[in-house]
């Protein structure tokens, strides 16, 4: 999803102030429930006893967020209402499920829990506690890519709850070549759209004896350790364990497939030629 894209959402606000608020995100067919800790029993079992991911939010000024997953969202959140040592002061919850016939699998929600935890933890001011991970939840690459595409809508759902999800990530539409300091039009998303780069492609970079890696997401972000970056320079910095606020010339540093592969800069040159 680009910076200025709009997430189409249908929000259902019941007349009862204790009933959960429901939001349907049409683009990725996900349904989200917003419910206070006091009212978690009001979640309909027929609808929410399904696999999904959830977040427990604290409103005590600490900005703590607990991210978890479950094969039965309603039952799991009710357990947290009775006992929860990791986020003892949570006051409201966000539940996310797939609004499709088949829904999520246990492996799907394990993958999404990790991606969502990493994305939120990278946002300044938010402290994330993560639920117990399966560890053995593995998915083929094409399934990871399909789930990656949902992350933008899930983050939009978090924003709808009033949480600031802004993370400085450079300019998506134009980047500066670190050697010439000349602004060159084009983004990684443009390379994907034109077929010059494919979702799931592995990227490699190196600097000062360090090596880093990333993966191209369907929306053109570069995913490093579960966090998506629009700016190649910030992705390179994160991958190499460096300050991502410094210019790293990521277009020249990232190679496709292997360090001997073409650079993103060379692919962008092809894009300029087209």
**257 vs 100, residue with greater confidence:** 257
- Residue (of 98, 86, 111) closest to 24 by Cα position: 98
Q: How far is CA 148 from CA 171, 176, 268, in A?
A: 21, 27, 23
Per-residue pLDDT at 82: 77
Q: What angle do CA 132, 134, 139 make, to 5 degrees?
A: 135
Number of separate helices (H) and strands (E) present in the chain = 9, 14
Average pLDDT, the chain: 86
Per-residue pLDDT at 27: 86
Q: Is 90 exceeded by the pLDDT of residue 221?
A: yes
**54 vs 2, residue with greater confidence:** 54
Q: Which of 188-214 are b and which e, b meaning 16 or more Cβ less than 10 Å from the residue's Cβ? A: bbbbbeeebbebebebbbeeeeeebeb
Q: Is 50 exceeded by the pLDDT of residue 60?
A: yes
Average pLDDT in the 45-56 region? Answer: 96
Provide the CA 257 distance to its chain's centre, in angstroms.
23
Per-residue pLDDT at 173: 40
Per-residue pLDDT at 184: 57
Q: Is 60 exceeded by the pLDDT of residue 183?
A: no
Q: Is 80 exceeded by the pLDDT of residue 211?
A: yes
Q: pLDDT band for 1, please (50, 70, 90 cuts).
A: very low
- Residue (of 108, 110, 100) closest to 24 by Cα position: 100
Per-residue pLDDT at 86: 64
Instruction: List, in sequence order, every beta strand (DSSP E) within the chain.
Output: 9-12, 21-25, 30-36, 52-58, 64-70, 90-98, 127-130, 174-176, 183-185, 202-207, 210-216, 222-224, 227-229, 255-256
Provide the CA 237 distance to its chain's centre, in angstroms.
18
């Amino acid at each position: 999803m680009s910076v200025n894209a709009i997430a189409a959402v249908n929000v259902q606000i019941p007349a009862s102030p204790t009933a959960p608020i429901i939001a349907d995100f049409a683009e990725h067919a996900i349904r989200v429930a917003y419910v206070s800790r006091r009212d978690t029993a009001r979640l309909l079992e027929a609808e929410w006893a399904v696999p999904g991911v959830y977040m427990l939010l604290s409103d005590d000024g600490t900005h703590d967020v607990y991210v978890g997953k479950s094969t039965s969202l309603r039952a799991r959140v009710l357990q947290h209402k009775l006992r929860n040592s990791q986020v003892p002061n949570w006051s409201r919850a966000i539940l996310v499920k797939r609004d499709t016939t088949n829904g999520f699998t246990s492996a799907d929600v394990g993958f999404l829990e990790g991606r969502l935890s990493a994305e939120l933890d990278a946002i300044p001011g938010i402290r994330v506690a993560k639920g117990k991970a399966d560890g053995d939840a593995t998915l083929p690459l094409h399934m990871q890519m399909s789930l990656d595409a949902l992350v933008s809508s899930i983050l939009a759902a978090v924003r709808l709850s009033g949480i600031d999800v802004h993370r400085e990530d450079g300019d998506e539409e134009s980047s500066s070549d670190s050697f010439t300091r000349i602004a060159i039009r084009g983004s990684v998303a443009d390379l994907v759209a034109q077929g010059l780069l494919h979702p799931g492609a592995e990227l490699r970079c190196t600097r000062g004896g360090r090596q880093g890696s990333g993966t191209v997401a369907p929306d053109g972000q570069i995913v490093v350790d579960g966090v998506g970056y629009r700016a190649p320079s910030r992705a390179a910095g994160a991958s190499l364990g460096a300050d991502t606020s410094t210019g790293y010339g990521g277009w020249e540093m990232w190679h496709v497939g292997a360090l001997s592969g073409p650079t993103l800069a060379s692919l962008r040159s092809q894009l300029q030629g087209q």
